[in-house]
Amino acid sequence: MNETNKVALITGGARGIGRAIALSLAEQGWSIAVCYRTSAKEGEKTQAAVQEKGGRGMAVQCDVSDPWAAEEFARQVESEWGQVDALINCAGPYHRVNLLEETIEGWNSMFDNNLHPIFYLSRIIAPGMKERGWGRIVNFSMAKADQQAAQPQLTAHYIAKAGVLILTRSLARLLAPHGITVNAISPGFIDSGSAPKEELEKMVRHIPAGYIGETRDVVGVVNFLLSDEARYVNGTNIHVSGGWGL
């Protein structure tokens, strides 16, 4: 793709999968705006790397769990660059804790950080996409979220990620008439720097493909979903897990 006039807003884009997506799109000429909550140094490095690859870069500290902060960030990108063509919701922190030992704050934080920002940002970005008759929204869920399985050690996170799938389909249904696609990606175990190496190594024997995924495996799917080749792919959930979770 040569998308020199396209703008992507990526939450959680300072590190891991989000950063890999940002750099890939920058190589294709996209302007990239990423936000981060605490990773200021990583955000600056990502912005610099985007610019080195020839794209315009922006890195903004923003807690997208705050609806007003999320709106301000989206408005800033639109104001400075005129539009947002792709919204990629990568932010998705998690913690493991027994359900009956979970705190109220911990429970709420999983929804505030994984599910609600997609709503906050989509409602701001969608009108511009509708006006232009083109847009892409990509949301990140997790492998197994579509199975409604018991997850006693990360229950709130799991429910939030299941909610991402429902929200994705609802947005897709509403926005499809306007040339906008909304899809979800559900990664399994990806070596993105967010999980300890030893934890990933223990999981290899449970993955049918026999190895841990890399960020490029996810980037390839994002590139496809943003392309015109995927114009008729809408409301779907793509597993990137090497067969784990099926």
Catalytically active residues, by annotation: 158
Task: Work out whether strand 180-187 and strand 135-140 pair parallel, antiparallel, or are unpaired.
Answer: parallel
Task: Work out whether strand 86-89 and strand 7-11 pair parallel, antiparallel, or are unpaired.
Answer: parallel
- Cβ atoms of 85 and 136 within 8 Å: the answer is yes
Query: Minimal CA–CA distance to 168: which of 179, 177, 176?
Result: 176
